[in-house]
Structure 1
Amino acid sequence: MVRPEPLHAHLAKTVSEGTGQKSLQKLLERIEEWKFGKEMALVLNRFNATRRLATADQKPMVRKIVEEQASRIYRLMRHVADGFEAAKSGGTGPEQIIIPILKGMITVNAHPGPTFNRDGEETMLGSLEAFTDDIGLTSCSPANPMST
């Protein structure tokens, strides 16, 4: 018969090998995925509901829905820029030009309260324009998508 490890030895092994941290990270990722899926299902339902609107009312509603997701879009842009920087740090090629541009596009002005800087606003508006074109809506008028 094999005797079980004492609890403190098991915990010490879990901590030293990092398995506890990995398990916790995996759990947090699953929770975040579930939360994201649940929230995005509501957003998708709202997008689908715009199909029943008159054509002239679709664009403002889609824009409103997207603008409500500005903080999520910002976090996604931040994640992409940070990941690109981490993957390309120390390089000497064109990435050394691109990294500051990416970072500049996601800088947030604090006053009068949170808004993208000019480059970020143009990027966000261009993305919104591409999105609305992709789903068959007419072009969007310029406005700061962070100012909701």
Structure 2
Amino acid sequence: MYVLDTNICIYAMKGTYPCLNKKLMSIDLDDICISSITVSELEYGAEKSNWKARSREIMRMFLSNYMIVSFTEKDAIASGRVRANLAAKGTPIGLYDVMIAGQAIARDWTVVTHNTKEFVRVPGLRIEDWTEPTTVINLNT
């Protein structure tokens, strides 16, 4: 299962990277999901937009294509461990990224992101960047 990071959702909605949209269309919709954490980030972006209604409409249309997965206690425990591990190493990442990484680890998902500099710090997390013509895969074990 692939979980889309917030930046990937934004790029897909804007059509920033044609290869991203092509990749999204080539993957079965049942194999892609979006975390409720990402939905929160997208809603925040829409709320602070000058075009709230338009931004929300684009967001709702995009999100309707994918399964939205709620953040659970199991995800929270995994996220807490990720955050503690990164803090101990002195390599913290943003809290929402920690939560998405923890959810992905707890559920054995691959995070699709263009924010590889942050996510690569998380041991055991699989990440892919679909914004490049050739998919960048980091098994990060």
TM over 0.5: no
Q: Which has the larger share of strand?
A: 2
TM-score of the aligned structures, taking structure 2 as reference length: 0.23
Q: Which has the larger share of helix?
A: 1
Of the two, which has the highest radius of gyration? 1
TM-score of the aligned structures, taking structure 1 as reference length: 0.22
Structure with the bigger RCO (C-alpha within 8 Å, sep 6+) is 2
